[in-house]
Amino acid sequence: MIRRNARLRQEYLYRKNLEGKEKDVYEKKRKIKQALNEGKPIPSELIEFEFNSRKEMSIEGEEDYKRLNIDDEYARAGVLDPKVFVTTSRDPSARLTQFAKELKMLFPNSQKMNRGAHVIKELVDACRANDVTDLVIAHEHSGEPNGLVVCHLPYGPTAYFEIVNCIMIHDIQDAPPASLAYPHLIFNNFTTPLGSRTENILKYLFPVPAQDSKRVLTFSNNNDYISFRHHIYEKDGHKNVLLKEVGPRFELKLYKIQLGTIDQPEADVEWVYRPYMNSTKNRTFL
């Protein structure tokens, strides 16, 4: 099984490398098209490429290229509803168990399982066998939720988040009953390539909502802390909208993205937060 997973990972990396070559071809085609439209001579370094590919060359529009994602981990996202599996670290406290239950209510089509004595490899293998798309593991420190791991299956990536200022549903006064409708998602200020990557990891935990859904989840990035809020709304007349917070409420801080699943410690690290970044002023990564 270990060798099979390594082989599948190598096949994925090979496909990913091919898409990188396709990107280079696209850039050459784009420069040739721009030169022709402006009535300028084709750059000398592209003449041989243009001659060899004239017969089969079809200039792709930017929209066609945007559909090519250098990572095909989310190629089926939006076509099939995600299937999320929620669990905790071993020997969870009552508060972490409650937090895991609230996470299950956040993710439609999700299941929660008590961790017990199961090791990570057993969890990942069981998720793969049951076509689970994402494994979510909550961690704690001194009884307070302080970590969240989102592992996309079957090939990764795996994102590691720190949880700060966690307020659960029963801590919010006058919180309305939680809705199980597919939520609308709001992402604010994810402007960098790393921000876009993080947005995809979080966005594809949720299925496509119905137009009339009254449930809204907000992920707002501010100085690399992602504020999460959960609301439902009601229309009062034609113009007024009543917004009610459901919970839970917390902040996430990304500290690592790994190009593999959580049971593959040898997988490459795509991005990690380093200590020297604390002294970098006026720089946001998300």
How far is Cα 259 from Cα 279, in angstroms, rounded to an integer?
Answer: 27
pTM as predicted? 0.77
pLDDT at 183 over 70: yes
Quote the pLDDT of residue 60: 45
Contact assessment for residue 201 and residue 157, using Cβ atoms and an 8 Å cutoff: yes
How far is Cα 153 from Cα 131, in angstroms, rounded to an integer?
Answer: 8
pLDDT at 43 over 80: no
Q: In terms of pLDDT, which residue wins out, 79 or 169? A: 169
pLDDT at 59 over 50: no
How far is Cα 193 from Cα 107, in angstroms, rounded to an integer?
Answer: 25
* Residue 127: closest CA among 161, 84, 73: 84
Domains of the chain and any CATH numbers: 1-58 (no CATH), 84-282 (3.40.50.10480)
The pLDDT tens digits of the residues spanning 186-195 come to: 999 999 989 9
The pLDDT tens digits of the residues spanning 257-277 come to: 999 999 998 888 999 998 777
